[in-house]
Amino acid sequence: MSSLATCLSRVMCFLAVTAVSMSLSSHTWKEEGVVYGRVGDAVTLRCNSRNASSVVEWRFNGSSSIAWGFVTKLGDLDLPSVGPSVMGNYSCYNQSGELLHSVLLKVGYSPGIPSVTCRAADYHNFSCLWNSSVETLLPTRYITSYRVDRNIPEICLQDVRHPNMCSVRNSKLWTSYQMNITEENPLGSSFRILEFHVQSIVKPDPPQILSAEPIPYAPRRLQVTWAYPSTWPQEPHFQLKFRLQYRPVLHMLWSTVETANLTDIITDAFMGMEHILQVSARDFLDAGNWSEWSVEARATPWTSTEMPESVSEVSNETTTEEPEPQVKKPFDQNDPVEKVALMISLGIFAFVVLVVFLAIGALIW
């Protein structure tokens, strides 16, 4: 029963959004003096004159040679299979050379299902962008609407500066949105419906003001800093985490680290080599997707061979105060002092041995 209810709910949503799209499509494609044809279809151009007959003459862009069509008994021009090459002005004349009727023929294709993607740069607004899946060769317009949960459909506002985008302001978290993008042209219409929650389409803009600086006397380290994207709300419950990637200019493989801070220290940089760095952002709770990578920054670790004065002074003091190591001289048998010391050592050893034997004898006795 639950699956049936879900199916019915989606059907009702589809019908409601479609009805809104049809109601918004108040403009018709009927234009005075213009006829639209589908590529490959037959088109009949009418002379629209009471006195028209088979003796009328049709001209195409001023030329009387129209090999791809023929004139009927009523004076109409039948074009069995039209294509882009037959688009142009067609004129009907009587035997006296008087213009009876003129029409502009435009040929193209019916709309395909548009390709639509929706993205929220923050938790308060989101936008949807679309592209036509078929090059129709005809004038086209889009009708955009959305529906929140089961409420009445509303219009998704389009920006004249961005003809393939509409925006929803003050969006709601944990709420289901159904978006309908309908593409129309004189030959018909086609639409796509998307359903999503705002947190699933969150994708922040790239972080800004990325910079990297060498750390003095640390030839393998770089200090990297950046800032939140200006479009992300500075609110304590909407935090971002970051992903930093870096590599030497001459290498192709990236190293990547993640952090929740706005600064990080690279500790495994290549000494003396220039590095490329970029950073991206994502919701701290992993909602949505990572942002695009930021504009790259470049930096080289510290390469100077000079030592600070304090370090040199400490090194010099350590060198002057440290005593010279004493080298032990080898034993010399010809030295009289060494001979006396050896005799004394042997005498003490003999005395100890004698005492031990006497003690053992006494015990046995």
Q: Does 289 map to a domain?
A: yes
Q: Which pLDDT score is estimated for 166?
A: 95
What is the strand order of the sheet 99-108 is part of?
A: 34-38, 99-108, 88-93, 57-60
Q: Which pLDDT score is estimated for 65?
A: 85
Cβ atoms of 90 and 102 closer than 8 Å: yes
Residue 22 and residue 59 in one domain? no
Does residue 45 carry a pLDDT above 90?
yes
Residue partners of 13: CB distance under 8 A and separation at least 6: 147, 150, 178, 193, 195
Q: Among the ranges 27-31, 271-275, 336-340, which has the highest mean pLDDT value?
A: 271-275
Q: Which pLDDT score is estimated for 161?
A: 87
Residue 238 and residue 286 in one domain? yes
Query: What is the Cα–Cα distance from 29 to 35, expressed in whole angstroms?
Result: 10
Cβ atoms of 301 and 223 closer than 8 Å: no
Number of structural domains (the chain) is 3
Query: What is the Cα–Cα distance from 287 to 318, expressed in whole angstroms?
Result: 57
First to last CA, the chain: 113
Query: What is the Cα–Cα distance from 242 to 181, expressed in whole angstroms?
Result: 33
Q: How confident is the prediction for the chain on average, in pLDDT? A: 83
Q: Which pLDDT score is estimated for 40?
A: 94
Average pLDDT score over residue span 277-303: 95
Per-residue model confidence as pLDDT tens digits over 291-349: 999 999 999 999 976 555 544 444 444 444 444 444 444 444 555 555 656 677 777 87
Average pLDDT score over residue span 259-272: 95
Query: What is the Cα–Cα distance from 14 to 46, expressed in whole angstroms?
Result: 40
**CATH number for 195:** 2.60.40.10
Instruction: Kindly give the pairing relationship between strand 222-227 and strand 263-266.
Output: antiparallel
Length of the chain: 365
Q: Last residue of some domain: 91, 108, 125? A: 108
Domain extent for 231: 208-299
Cβ atoms of 77 and 71 closer than 8 Å: yes
Residue 165 and residue 216 in one domain? no
Average pLDDT score over residue span 269-293: 95
Q: Does 326 map to a domain?
A: no
What is the 3 state secondary structure string of 85-119? Answer: HHCEEEEEECCCCCEEEEEEEEEECCCCCCEEEEE
How much of the chain exceeds pLDDT 90, in percent?
Answer: 58
Top pLDDT among 64 and 19 is at 64
Residue 104 and residue 117 in one domain? no
Residue 138 and residue 81 in one domain? no
Annotate 107-146 with b (16+ C-beta within 10 A) or e (fewer).
bbbbbeebebebebbbbbebbbebebebebebebebbbbb
